[in-house]
Every structure is written in structure tokens, then in C-alpha cells.
């Protein structure tokens, strides 16, 4: 059962309970991470981690980063060449230690990123609780999605703190690993020193592009970028044509309309128009409420419109949902939309009836629909002039999600 409590600030609540402490949220996050690492040890389930750590080996020996290696793992890598450098510190350990450190790294990086948000302590706690169902999926699947989400958050919060050099690094690194990070470029509009920020972007682009060449030859690395592009194109085609499961909002509408041939371009065009709509009024750019709504949009938009999205990828979007939730004024909407979203996020059809769910893709693609509804509300809030300016005059109200 969900209940909500609202306070103004911690000093007004001298008898706070243990679950209203950010340290308890951190404890839960780490506990969840350890539980699924131990589960992987017991069941010998390392496949996704093996895909990742094998990229470092392949980089060293200049083998394809995107070929199948059935002797080592199922499936193939789809991350950019720089990822094979990022995974290196973990790949040098035995797999069971490497997996432990890898999951803890992703968990703690995202938690730290949430703490940098310009929110009150209680609002950060709320975001931490809201993220738990998606954190479980992410840790279960040993993916980098939590780290990718952290880079997207940091690309905004570091810029917010006038640390454009590190914000630019987060944007470039996130883009070169998973492409989603490219939407962080919209934060350029919030930069106080745009010329300097552009120079840092160019600098980090060169560094990240060239860094794998410290380990492998330039010809190999350049060819790997071409292979990466081809792997993403092929993955998209498989998902759209039915060989995979497309749980993006595009896949949802194609399933519900029974119209497989609706092109991605149509959805992406409409989505892009909505995404840029709030930026029409330049006068809002300095308003924190507007910036936070756009951060929420940045966290949700690329996952919604990616045919490569998986259930574990929504750990990125759920942080955007959390930011929307603690800033949303409409209490009725919050009490209706968030519980529905969290229940659907748990993906009970796949958990309880996997065979049935996989044979009926709509039961899997529906996961994107509540995120889509939240995203539309975020766009409305950001585009609504009265909404964004009223927020600046109101005292911070704290909303948390508690059992």
C-alpha cells in the first residue's frame, strides 16, 4: 500500500523515522545490488557481464567488438568502442569479483548523481524510492544503464554548478557509449559560457574518440566505430521487424494498432517536435523549475523512442519520473499515474507468465505507455509559462514515497 507524507524541511521534522533518511535509501540500493550479485554467483549467471568484459580482451587483441563469441557468452556487444576502455578496471579481476565491483560502481554512481540534483533532501529520498523497481531490473541484468543515467544527470548538475568541463565530458562519454547521452546537448542552452562549453565538447570528443587507440591501432579503432554503427542498425531492424521485442512507445503503438509498417521516422519526427516545443520561450531558460522539467524530459525521451530499449533500460527514465514527481503540483495525477507506472514497470506478465508474455508483445511494450504519459505531462509543465514561473515563488514542498 502506498502512502505519501509532505514536510517542508528536515529541521521541521525532529522525529524522522529511519526510512526517511537518505542513508537508508543508500542501504537499500546497495542491498539490492548485493542480492542480485549473490544470485548471479549462485546461478552462475554472468552472461551480460561476460559480454562487457570480453570487449576489453577483444580490444587488446584487435578482434571485432561486435561479433558473436558463443564460446564466451550469448548475444553480442552494442556499446561504443570507448566502453571497452571503461570496463578494463573490472575485467582484470576474476569474473565474480569483477561483477561485484561493476554492479556496485553503477549503483553508487547513479545514487551519487541523484544527490547532486538541486532538490531538497526529502525530494532526493523520494527519487531514490521511486527508482527501486527499475534498479532491481538493472542490477539483475548487469547492464550499464544505471551508469548511463548517472552521466545524463551529471551532465546537467555539473553545468548547473558552473563545471562545464566535466558536464561536457559526461555528455560526450555517454554519447560514445550508448548514444542516449547525446540529448544532454540541450543543456548547452543553460550554459553561462557557451563558447567555453563548445570548446570543452570538442576537446572531449577528440579525447574519447582517440582513447582506445592507446590500446589498439588507429585503423582498428576507426573500423570499430563503423562496426558499431552497423550493429545498431541491425539491432534496430531485428526489433522493428519482429525478430526482437520492441518495447519503445513506437513498438507499443505498432502493436496496439496492429500496424508493423509504421516507420520510426514518423514517430521520431513527432517526438522531436514535442521535445523541442518548450524551448520556444527563451526567457524560461534560467528558471530552475524549467531546467528540471527538461532534465526529466531528457531522461525519458531517448528511451521512449529507442527500439533498442529493454526493461532494464528504464532505470534511466525512472529518474526523470522521480524528478517530475517531486515537482508536480497536481496531487491527484501523482497519486494515479505513479502507482500505475511502478506496477507496470515491475513487468509482472514477463515475471509470472514469460512464455505467454513473449508470444504477446503488447504485454511487454505496454511498459512504455505510462512513461509516455508522464513525458507528455513534463512537456506540458515545461511549456506552461505560469507553471514554470510559479514554482520559483513557492517554498519547496517535499514529497516522498513510503510504504
How many Å apart are CA 335 and CA 328, to the nearest integer? 11
Q: Is the pLDDT at 269 greater than 60, yes or no?
A: yes
Q: Tell me which DSSP letter residue 95 carries.
A: H
124 phi/psi in degrees, rounded to 5: -65, -40
pLDDT of residue 396: 40
pLDDT of residue 14: 56
311: alpha, beta or left? (left if phi > 0; alpha if psi -120 to 50)? alpha
How many Å apart are CA 366 and CA 350, to the nearest integer? 12
Average pLDDT, the chain: 87
Choose the most confident range, by mean pLDDT, from 33-47, 334-348, 357-371. 33-47
- Any idea which residue has 542501504 for its cell? 27
How does strand 3-7 pair with strand 398-402?
antiparallel
Report pLDDT digits (tens) over 329-353. Answer: 888 889 999 999 998 888 766 666 6
Q: How distant, in Å, are the alpha carbons of 56, 167, 207 from that of 84?
A: 5, 22, 15
At 244, the pLDDT band (50, 70, 90 cuts) reads low
Asked if residue 143 lies in contact with residue 48, where contact means CB atoms within 8 angstroms, the answer is yes
Q: Is the pLDDT at 69 greater than 80, yes or no?
A: yes
The SS3 assignment for 216 reads coil
The residue that leads in pLDDT, 359 or 264, is 264
Q: What percent of the chain has pLDDT over 90?
A: 64
- Terminus-to-terminus CA distance in the chain, angstroms? 6
How many Å apart are CA 307 and CA 264, to the nearest integer? 9
Q: Is the pLDDT at 10 greater than 80, yes or no?
A: no
Average pLDDT over residues 354-382: 84
pLDDT of residue 265: 86
The residue that leads in pLDDT, 363 or 143, is 143
Q: Is the pLDDT at 389 greater than 60, yes or no?
A: no
Q: Is the pTM of this model over 0.85?
A: yes
Average pLDDT over residues 95-111: 96
What is the secondary structure of 235-269 as a DSSP string? HHHHHHHTSS---SHHHHHHHHTT-TT--HHHHHH
At 359, the pLDDT band (50, 70, 90 cuts) reads low
Q: Is the pLDDT at 102 greater than 80, yes or no?
A: yes
Least confident interval from 101-105, 152-156, 216-220, 363-367 = 363-367
At 182, the pLDDT band (50, 70, 90 cuts) reads very high
Asked if residue 317 lies in contact with residue 304, where contact means CB atoms within 8 angstroms, the answer is yes
At 100, the pLDDT band (50, 70, 90 cuts) reads very high
Where along the chain do its domains lie?
Answer: 3-402
Which stretch of DSSP H or E encloses residue 186?
A: none
pLDDT of residue 3: 41
Sign of CA dihedral 130, 396, 160, 30: negative
- Any idea which residue has 504477446 for its cell? 360
At 243, the pLDDT band (50, 70, 90 cuts) reads low
What is the secondary structure of 107-127 as a DSSP string? HHHHHHHHHTSSS-HHHHHHH
CB atoms within 10 A of CB 280: 8
Q: How distant, in Å, are the alpha carbons of 145, 164, 271, 299, 343 from that of 180?
A: 10, 19, 15, 9, 25
pLDDT of residue 2: 40
Three-class HEC string of 271-333: HHHHHHHHHHCHHHCCCHHHHHHHHHHHHHHHHHCCCCCCHHHHHHHHHHHHHHHHHCCCHHH
CB atoms within 10 A of CB 60: 13
pLDDT of residue 357: 64
Q: Is the pLDDT at 221 greater than 80, yes or no?
A: yes
Residue 308 in grid coordinates:
533498442
Q: What own/partner pairs with CB < 8 Å and gap ≥ 24 does 251-258 have?
A: 251/307, 251/361, 251/365, 251/368, 252/362, 252/365, 252/366, 252/368, 252/369, 252/372, 255/361, 255/362, 255/365, 256/362
Amino acid at each position: 500500500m502506498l502512502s505519501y507524507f509532505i514536510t517542508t524541511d528536515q529541521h521541521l521534522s525532529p522525529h524522522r523515522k529511519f526510512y526517511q533518511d537518505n542513508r537508508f535509501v543508500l542501504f537499500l540500493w546497495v542491498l539490492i545490488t548485493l542480492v542480485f550479485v549473490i544470485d548471479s554467483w549462485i546461478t552462475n549467471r554472468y552472461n551480460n557481464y561476460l559480454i562487457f568484459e570480453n570487449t576489453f580482451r577483444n580490444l587488446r587483441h584487435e578482434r571485432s567488438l561486435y561479433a558473436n563469441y558463443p564460446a564466451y557468452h550469448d548475444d553480442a556487444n552494442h556499446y561504443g568502442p570507448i566502453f571497452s576502455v571503461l570496463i578494463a578496471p573490472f575485467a582484470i579481476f576474476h569474473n565474480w569479483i569483477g561483477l561485484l565491483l561493476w554492479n556496485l560502481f553503477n549503483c553508487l554512481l547513479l545514487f551519487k548523481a541523484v544527490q547532486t540534483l538541486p532538490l531538497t533532501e526529502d525530494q532526493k529520498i523520494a527519487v531514490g524510492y521511486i527508482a527501486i523497481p527499475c534498479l532491481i531490473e538493472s542490477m539483475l541484468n548487469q547492464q550499464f544503464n544505471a551508469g548511463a543515467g548517472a552521466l545524463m544527470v551529471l551532465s546537467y548538475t555539473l553545468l548547473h554548478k558552473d563545471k562545464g568541463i566535466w558536464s561536457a565530458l559526461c555528455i560526450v562519454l555517454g554519447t560514445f557509449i550508448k548514444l542516449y547521452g547525446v540529448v544532454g546537448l540541450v543543456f548547452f542552452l543553460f550554459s553561462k559560457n557557451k563558447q567555453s562549453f563548445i570548446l570543452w565538447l570538442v576537446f572531449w570528443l577528440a579525447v574519447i574518440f582517440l582513447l582506445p587507440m592507446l590500446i589498439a591501432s588507429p585503423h582498428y579503432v576507426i573500423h570499430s566505430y563503423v562496426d558499431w554503427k552497423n550493429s545498431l542498425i541491425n539491432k534496430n531492424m531485428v526489433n522493428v521487424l519482429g525478430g526482437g521485442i520492441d518495447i519503445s512507445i513506437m513498438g507499443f503503438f505498432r502493436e496496439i494498432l496492429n500496424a508493423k509498417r509504421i516507420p520510426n521516422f514518423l514517430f521520431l519526427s513527432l517526438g522531436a517536435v514535442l521535445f523541442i516545443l518548450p524551448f520556444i520561450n527563451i526567457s524560461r531558460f534560467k528558471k530552475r523549475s524549467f531546467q528540471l522539467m527538461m532534465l526529466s524530459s531528457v531522461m525519458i525521451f531517448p528511451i521512449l523512442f529507442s527500439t533498442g530499449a529493454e526493461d532494464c533500460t528504464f532505470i534511466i527514465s525512472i529518474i526523470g519520473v522521480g524528478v517530475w514527481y517531486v515537482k508536480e503540483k497536481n496531487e491527484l495525477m501523482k497519486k494515479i499515474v505513479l502507482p500505475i507506472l511502478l506496477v507496470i514497470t515491475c513487468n509482472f506478465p514477463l515475471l509470472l507468465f514469460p512464455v505467454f508474455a513473449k508470444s504477446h508483445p503488447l504485454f511487454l511494450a505496454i511498459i512504455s505507455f505510462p512513461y509516455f504519459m508522464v513525458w507528455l505531462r513534463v512537456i506540458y509543465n515545461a511549456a506552461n509559462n505560469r507553471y514554470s514561473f510559479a514554482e520559483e515563488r513557492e517554498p519547496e514542498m517535499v514529497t516522498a514515497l513510503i510504504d
